[in-house]
A and B are shown apart, each in its own frame.
Chain A
Amino acid sequence: MKFSLDWLKVFLDTDASAGEISAALNKIGIEVEGLEDPAEGLTGFRVAEVLTAAPHPNADKLQVLTVSTGEGEPLQVVCGAPNARAGMKGVFGMSGAIVPANGMELRKTAIRGVESNGMMCSTRELQLGDDHEGIIELPADAPVGASFADYRGTSPVFDVAITPNRPDCMGVEGIARDLAAAGLGRFKPYRVEPVAGSFPCPVEIRTDDPEGCPAFYGRVIRGVSNGASPEWMQQRLLSAGQRPISALVDITNYLMLAFGRPAHAYDLAQLKGAVVARRAKDGEQVLALNEKTYTLDSSMTVIADDSGVHDIAGIMGGEHSGVSDATTDVLLEIAYFDPERIGATGRKLGLASDARTRFERGVDPAFLDEGLDLLTALILKICGGEASELVRAGSPPSTPTVIEYDPGLAERLGGIAISEEEQLRTLEALEFRVSPDWRVTAPLRRHDIEGPADIVEEVVRIHGLDRVDRVPLPRTDGVARPTATPEQATERKLRRAAAARGLNEAITWSFISEKEAEAVDGAAWVLENPISEELKVMRPSLLPGLLSAVRRNLDRGASSVRLFEIGRRYLADGEHPTLVCVLAGEREARSWQGGKAKPFDAFDAKALTLYLLETAGAPVDRLQVMGEAGRVYHPGQSATLRLGPKNQLASFGMIHPGTLKAFDIDGPVAALGIHLDAIPPKKGTPSFARAPYAPPALQPVVRDFAFLVDVALPAGDLQRAVRGADKAEIAEARIFDDFRGTGVPEGKKSLAIEVTLQPGEKSYTDSDLKIISERIVAAAAKLGAELRG
C-alpha cells in the first residue's frame, strides 16, 4: 500500500522526517518496502516564463521560444507543443536535468538547425499524469526561477506491507493512529457532521441474507455532476498508485485508501426496484467492472435489484450499474459483509480486488454511519446534488472482545517489563478501553485481538521489540548431549560414505512427470494442481529424477557422471527414505596406462551397494543375492539383496535399455537403490565395547580348488556351500576364476575358489587338511560340482 507524507499528515500532526517515520513504521510492525521522494526526480526542473514565441524557420509544427529561468540571459528553446505561447508560465528542464519519463539527459542541441537549450515539459514527461497534448501551464503567479518540486510541493511516498491481521491499517488514517501511539505525533481523526437528508430515500434497501450481509446502509444523492475530482484528491490517489477516473469513482476510492473502507456508488438510472443483499442463484451471471463475466452460486452474497445482480458483494461492482460521466443520481452503498463469506467467494471465483482484501480481513463495523457521512459530504462538495435520508438495513456486529488481562504477562511472555502506566497509555492510544481491574475492551475494528497474548503484542510492539533483552535458554549441566536418532546418524554417515567413494550428491524434485513415473511402475500420488506436467506426480522412486539429471549432464558433455541422492519415495503406504546411486559414462577415462575408456558395469554397482550397506550397519554377510530387481533394470544384469525372501534391502545392476530410451540416454547406466527403512536396526542398545578379539597366533593356510559345475549354477551358491563346509576351520572362500571353453565340457564351467583356513591352537597336520578338503569337495558335490583333476 502506498501513500504520501502529505496525506499522512492529514491524520497525523508531526514534525518527524520521512526517514524517522519509516523507521517507526518498521518498528511497530508496518513493514516499509519502499520510500520514494519524487522531488529527487525533479532536480533541474524550474518554473519558467515564455517571453517570446516565433515560428521555426525550418519546421511548420515547431516554435522557437525565449524562456526566462529567473537568472542569467533568457534561453532559446525549440518547442513542439501547440499551447506554447508568449507570456505563459510552465516547467522548464535545464541542461543536465534527467527527464523522469525516459531517463534522457537534457543537453544543448540543435533542432532543425536552430539552437535549443533545455525543454519545456508535459505532465507525462515528468510522470505527473498522462497528458501529452501540450506543455504544463502554471498559474500566472508562479514564481519564475523556483524549483518546480518546491513549487508543486512534492511529498515522499511510503510503500508499506500491511500484515493480514491489520485491515484497520489498510487506510492512511489507521496508520496514523498506530504512529501516534508510538509517539510520532498527535493523531487527528477526520470526521464530518452527519448530513441530514432532505428527502426520503427513493429506493428500498434490504438485506435478505443477514449472515452474508448483516448490515447494508445507503442513501441516494440526486443532481450530481460527475466530472474530474479535485487536484488534491488526484494527487493523493496518484501517490497511492490509483489512477484518477471520475469524481464519483475517485471519492469511493479515496474513502477506501484513506479510511480502509470500501463503498460502492450505483448509477440510480440503471437500477430497477428494491436493491437487496441476497444469495446468488446457482448459475446466475454478472458482468463485473473488470469486463469479465462471473457465474455465481448460492453460497455467494450479491447486491441485486429486480433486473439482476449488480455487485459481487464486497468484491467487485457490476459493469452495468457503475457510474459514468452521464450519471446524475447515485445510490451509495456502505455495507458490512461476513469476512469468511467474502474470502470463500473470492477464492471460488479466483477474483482479487482491493475491496475483497479489506472485507475478507474485516473492515471496521463501527464505521458505517461515519463512512457514509464522509462519502456524502465529499460528493456534495465536489459533485453537488442533494442527499436523501439515510437508510439502514440490518446492523453490523457490535459486541466487542473483552479480555481479562494481567499486565505482568508483558514480561512473562514478551520478556520485557513495561510499567502499567505505559501499557495503559499505549492501549488507550490505540483506542482500547481499559477498566481499573484490567478488563481490556478492543475496538471493533481490531478483529485480530482474541486473547491476552494479543494485548502483549500491542504493548510490546509499541514499546519496541529492540528493547527486549536477550536471555539465554537454560542449559543442562555438562557438554551437549547427542541428539541424532539412529536413522539420522545412518543417513549422515551414508551421505559422506557415498561422497567419499567419488559420488556427487544431487537433490532432485520430489515431483516428476507421469511419463517418468510410468517407467518405474507408476505414481501413487498425483497432484490436483501441479505447476506443470513435468512436476505432476510424487516420485515412487528416485531413479527418474537422477536419470534425467544424467541425461542433462551427458548432453552438456560430461564424460563420467556419478550421482547419488538420499530422499523419500512416496508410495501409497507412506514416505520411505531411500538412497539411489547412478553411474554413467566412463568409470575410467582412456589413459596411457589402460588404453581405452572403461564403462561402468553391474559389479561396480554391486561393490558400491555392499559398501554402502555395510556402512549403514546392514548384516552384509547374511544377505542373499536374488532376482526381481524390477523392470527398470536389465533382466540379466541386475539383482536384489535380501535378508530372507521378503525383506529386500537393495537392488542394483544395469538399467534396462528400454528405460534408458525412455529417458533419452545413450550408453549404459549402472544404478543401485537402497531402502534405508528396510535395514534392520541393531538389537538392544549397542555398547561402545567391541566383541573380544585377539589375532590368531598361527598363519592362515590357503588352498585352491577348481570345480566343474553346470553353467547355470550361480557362483554364489558354490561359494556359500564351500564356505559352510567346515565352519570352524574355513575363514573365507573366494571365487577367483570363472572359465568356459577349451578343456571344459559343453554346458559346464570351471569355477576356481580360494579357501582360507585359519588354524586355532595348533597347526594343521596333513590328515587335518585332507579331511577339510574332503568336506569341501563333498559340500560342492551336493551342487553337482566335480573337482577338476
Chain B
Amino acid sequence: MDDQRISETLAAIDAAADVDAVEAIRIAALGKQGWISLALKSLGAMASEERTKAAPAIQAAREKIANALAEKKAALDDAALEASLASETLDLTLPASEVPKGSVHPVSQVMDELAEIFADMGFAVATGPEIEDDWHNFTALNMPESHPARAMHDTFYFPQQEGVDHRMLLRTHTSPVQVRTMVSQGAPLRIIAPGRVYRSDSDATHTPMFHQVEGLVIDRGIHLGHLKWTLETFLKAFFEREDIVLRLRPSYFPFTEPSVEADVGFALENGRRVLGGSGDEPGHGWMELLGSGMVNRRVIEMSGLDPDEWQGFAFGVGVDRLAMLKYGMDDLRAFFDGDVRWLRHYGFSPFDQPTLSAGVGARA
C-alpha cells in the first residue's frame, strides 16, 4: 500500500473546506474507480498467499480514510448548522403574546368558601326565588302585616296583582329559604342559603342589592350552645384565625326566640379593621357581624313541622361584608360596577378553588 498516498489523502480530507471537497476525495478514494476500491479489486487477481499478505493493509487504509471522511463530514455539518443557527437568533427580550387573565368575583369566591366550610359541618346549599311573596318573606317568618319590623325592611314591592292574595316583592333577606326548605325537605336539616337580597336603601355602605347567606339547623335537641359553637367554628375557619372572639348580645328578630346578635372583636391596624382578639382589649373594638337565634316556634309550625319535636337555630350574615373584611375592599358599590381594573385586582384566579386541604382562603 502506498503509505504516502494514504497520508496525502488524509491531509486533503483534513484540509477540505466544504462537503463537496470531501465528497470529491471520497469518490477519488472510495468511489467505484477510486484507488482504494481498485486496490481492493486487485486482491481478487492475487494468489491466496499474496492476498493474505496485502489485504490487511488495504482494508486498514480503507477504514482509516472512511473514518476520516465521516469525521470531517460531521464536523463540516456541525459548522454549517451552527452558522445557520447563528443567523436565526431571536431577540427574546421582545414581548410574547399576552394571555388574558380571567378572574372570579370576590362574592362568588366567598360563597364557594362558605359552601366548602359548611359542607364539612354537614350543611348543604339551598336556594330560593328572589322574587318572593310576602307570605314567605314576612308572614311565615312571624312578621304579620301589622308588624313594625316589616316597615323597617325597606322592601321593594311589585304592583298588587288582581285575584292574587300574596303581594310579590323582592326578598329582603335569605330567610324565606328557611321556610321553603323546611316545607320541601322536612327535618332534620342543615343548610346554608346564599344569594342576592334587596333593600330600598342606598348610601356609602348600603346598596339596593347585596348578598346574604342564611344558615339553618333543625334537629332534635339543638340549643344556643350549638349556635355559639357553629358561629365560632365558621368564623375561625373562614378567617383562618384561631383568635376570633365573638360577643353574643341578646337581640330581637321576629323569626327567632331567643335572638342573638354576634359582634366580633377587631384591632385597628393602619386604619383598617383586622378581625381577631377581644374587642375589649386596648386598641380593639367590637363590630356587629351577624344576626341569629333559635328558630321561633311559629316559624317551625308555619313551615309544617312540629315545634315540640324539632327545634334549631338560624343565622344570617352579609356575604359582601365577609368578603370586604377578609380581602380588604372598602367600597361596596364597586362590587357591582363591573370595572375590569377592580375585578382584576380584587378577583381570584380560577385555580384558587377553595378546598379544606389547601385552605379555603386565597392569600394575596
Residues of A within 8 A of B (CB): 26-29, 31, 163-166, 339-340, 343-344, 347, 360-361, 411-416, 448, 451, 453-454, 456-457, 460-461, 465-466, 468-476, 480-485, 488, 492, 495-511, 525-531, 535, 538, 545-546, 548-549, 552-553, 556, 558, 560-563, 566-568, 570, 574-575, 588-589, 591-594
Verify B336–A465 contact, CB threshold 8 A. no
* Alpha-carbon gap, A470 to B226, bound state (A): 6
Q: Select which of A166, A466, A535, A568 is within 8 A of B252 by beta carbon.
A: A166
Q: Which residues of A contact B45 (CB under 8 A)?
A: none
Verify B119–A482 contact, CB threshold 8 A. yes
Q: Select which of B151, B201, B260 is within 8 A of A343 by beta carbon.
A: B151
Q: Which residues of B contact A27 (CB under 8 A)?
A: 249-250
Which 3 pairs between the two chains have the least Cβ-Cβ distance? A549-B338, A29-B250, A415-B225
Q: Which residue of chain A is the closest to B201 with respect to CB atoms?
A: A531
Known: A163-B251, A480-B120. A499 touches B102 (CB 8 A): yes
Q: Which residues of B contact A528 (CB under 8 A)?
A: 156-159
Question: Which of B157, B158, B296, B347 has the most CB atoms of chain A within a 10 A radius of its CB?
Answer: B158
Q: Which residues of B contact A488 (CB under 8 A)?
A: 115, 125
Known: A343-B148, A456-B257, A484-B125. 12 other contacts (CB 8 A): A26-B247, A166-B252, A415-B226, A456-B258, A465-B250, A488-B115, A496-B350, A502-B99, A507-B335, A508-B336, A575-B129, A575-B130
Known: A340-B146, A480-B122. A500 touches B339 (CB 8 A): no
Verify B337–A549 contact, CB threshold 8 A. yes
Verify A483–B125 contact, CB threshold 8 A. yes
Verify A481–B350 contact, CB threshold 8 A. no
Please count how many residues in chain B sit with their CB below 8 Å of the partner chain's CB atoms. Answer: 89
Q: Which residues of A contact B204 (CB under 8 A)?
A: none
Q: Which residue of chain A is the closest to B126 with respect to CB atoms?
A: A485
* Alpha-carbon gap, A83 to B219, bound state (A): 75
B40 CB within 8 Å of chain A: no
B241 CB within 8 Å of chain A: no
Q: Which residues of A contact B200 (CB under 8 A)?
A: 529, 531
How near does chain A come to B231, taking the closest CB pair, in angstroms?
A: 9
B294 CB within 8 Å of chain A: yes
Verify A552–B100 contact, CB threshold 8 A. no
* Alpha-carbon gap, A496 to B354, bound state (A): 12
* Alpha-carbon gap, A484 to B126, bound state (A): 9
Verify B338–A499 contact, CB threshold 8 A. no
Q: Which residue of chain A is the closest to B157 with respect to CB atoms?
A: A528
Verify B258–A460 contact, CB threshold 8 A. yes
Q: Which residues of A contact B196 (CB under 8 A)?
A: 510, 567
Q: Which residues of A contact B151 (CB under 8 A)?
A: 343, 347
Q: Select which of A492, A507, A531 is within 8 A of B105 by beta carbon.
A: A507
B16-24, B79-87, B90-98: which lies at the interface: B90-98
B60 CB within 8 Å of chain A: no
How near does chain A come to B174, taking the closest CB pair, in angstroms?
A: 14
Verify A509–B156 contact, CB threshold 8 A. no
* Alpha-carbon gap, A495 to B351, bound state (A): 11
Verify B250–A28 contact, CB threshold 8 A. yes
Q: Which residues of B contact A503 (CB under 8 A)?
A: 100, 102
* Alpha-carbon gap, A136 to B99, bound state (A): 74
Q: Select which of B157, B190, B226, B257 is within 8 A of A454 by beta carbon.
A: B257
Q: Which of B111-130 contact A (CB under 8 A)?
A: 112, 115, 118-125, 129-130
B223 CB within 8 Å of chain A: yes
B353 CB within 8 Å of chain A: yes
* Alpha-carbon gap, A567 to B127, bound state (A): 13
B224 CB within 8 Å of chain A: yes
Known: A492-B112, A549-B338. A465 touches B224 (CB 8 A): yes
Verify A457–B349 contact, CB threshold 8 A. no
Q: Which residues of A contact B336 (CB under 8 A)?
A: 507-509
B108 CB within 8 Å of chain A: yes
B107 CB within 8 Å of chain A: yes
Verify B104–A453 contact, CB threshold 8 A. no
Q: Which residues of A contact B294 (CB under 8 A)?
A: 413, 453
Q: Select which of A457, A468, A507, A560 is within 8 A of B107 by beta carbon.
A: A507
How near does chain B come to A676, taking the closest CB pair, in angstroms?
A: 13
Q: Mark B204-230, 1 if CB is under 8 A from A, else 0.
A: 000011000000010101111111111
Verify A343–B338 contact, CB threshold 8 A. no
Q: Which residues of B contact A546 (CB under 8 A)?
A: 338
Q: Which residues of A contact B104 (CB under 8 A)?
A: 495-496, 499, 505
A sample of 13 inter-chain contacts (CB < 8 A) reads: A26-B247, A29-B249, A31-B261, A413-B224, A416-B224, A461-B250, A499-B103, A505-B108, A505-B347, A526-B159, A527-B156, A562-B100, A563-B338
B101 CB within 8 Å of chain A: yes
Verify A473–B226 contact, CB threshold 8 A. yes
How near does chain A come to B124, taking the closest CB pair, in angstroms?
A: 4
Q: Select which of B168, B170, B223 is within 8 A of A413 by beta carbon.
A: B223
B54 CB within 8 Å of chain A: no
Verify A414–B94 contact, CB threshold 8 A. no
Q: Which residues of B contact A548 (CB under 8 A)?
A: 338
Verify A500–B120 contact, CB threshold 8 A. no
Known: A505-B104, A525-B131, A593-B97. A470 touches B353 (CB 8 A): no
Known: A415-B224, A454-B257, A471-B223. A164 touches B149 (CB 8 A): yes
* Alpha-carbon gap, A484 to B202, bound state (A): 33
Verify B297–A453 contact, CB threshold 8 A. yes
How near does chain B come to A18, taking the closest CB pair, in angstroms?
A: 15
Known: A482-B119, A500-B350, A505-B343. A457 touches B97 (CB 8 A): no
Verify A552–B339 contact, CB threshold 8 A. yes
Q: Which residue of chain A is the closest to B260 with respect to CB atoms?
A: A465
Verify A525–B311 contact, CB threshold 8 A. no
Verify B103–A505 contact, CB threshold 8 A. yes
B32 CB within 8 Å of chain A: no
* Alpha-carbon gap, A481 to B351, bound state (A): 22
Verify A526–B232 contact, CB threshold 8 A. no
Known: A468-B224, A504-B347, A591-B95. A562 touches B249 (CB 8 A): no
* Alpha-carbon gap, A347 to B98, bound state (A): 59
* Alpha-carbon gap, A382 to B310, bound state (A): 58
Q: Select which of B118, B119, B157, B349 is within 8 A of A527 by beta carbon.
A: B157
Verify A502–B223 contact, CB threshold 8 A. no
How near does chain B come to A651, taking the closest CB pair, in angstroms?
A: 21
How near does chain B come to A573, taking the closest CB pair, in angstroms?
A: 11
Q: Select which of A473, A527, A594 is within 8 A of B230 by beta carbon.
A: A473
Q: Which residue of chain A is the closest to B352 with respect to CB atoms?
A: A496
Q: Which residues of A contact B257 (CB under 8 A)?
A: 451, 453-454, 456-457
Verify B198–A510 contact, CB threshold 8 A. yes
Q: Which residues of A contact B358 (CB under 8 A)?
A: none
Verify A502–B102 contact, CB threshold 8 A. yes
Question: Which of B97, B152, B249 has the most CB atoms of chain A within a 10 A radius of its CB?
Answer: B249
Q: Select which of B102, B148, B190 is within 8 A of A504 by beta carbon.
A: B102
How near does chain B come to A614, taking the closest CB pair, in angstroms?
A: 16
Known: A31-B249, A470-B225, A525-B158. A500 touches B102 (CB 8 A): yes
Known: A468-B225, A488-B125, A503-B102. A552 touches B202 (CB 8 A): no
Q: Select which of B156, B221, B258 is within 8 A of A461 by beta carbon.
A: B258
Q: Mark B127-153, 1 if CB is under 8 A from A, else 0.
A: 001110000000000000011110110
Known: A31-B249, A164-B152, A531-B208. A552 touches B158 (CB 8 A): no
Q: Which residues of A contact B157 (CB under 8 A)?
A: 527-529
Question: Which of A412, A451, A468 has the most CB atoms of chain B within a 10 A radius of its CB?
Answer: A468
B344 CB within 8 Å of chain A: yes
B248 CB within 8 Å of chain A: yes
* Alpha-carbon gap, A156 to B325, bound state (A): 32
* Alpha-carbon gap, A505 to B157, bound state (A): 29
* Alpha-carbon gap, A500 to B103, bound state (A): 8
* Alpha-carbon gap, A448 to B221, bound state (A): 24
Q: Which residue of chain A is the closest to B200 with respect to CB atoms?
A: A531
Q: Which residues of A contact B261 (CB under 8 A)?
A: 31
* Alpha-carbon gap, A29 to B247, bound state (A): 12
Q: Select which of A347, A473, A535, A552 is within 8 A of B208 by beta carbon.
A: A535
Verify B226–A457 contact, CB threshold 8 A. no
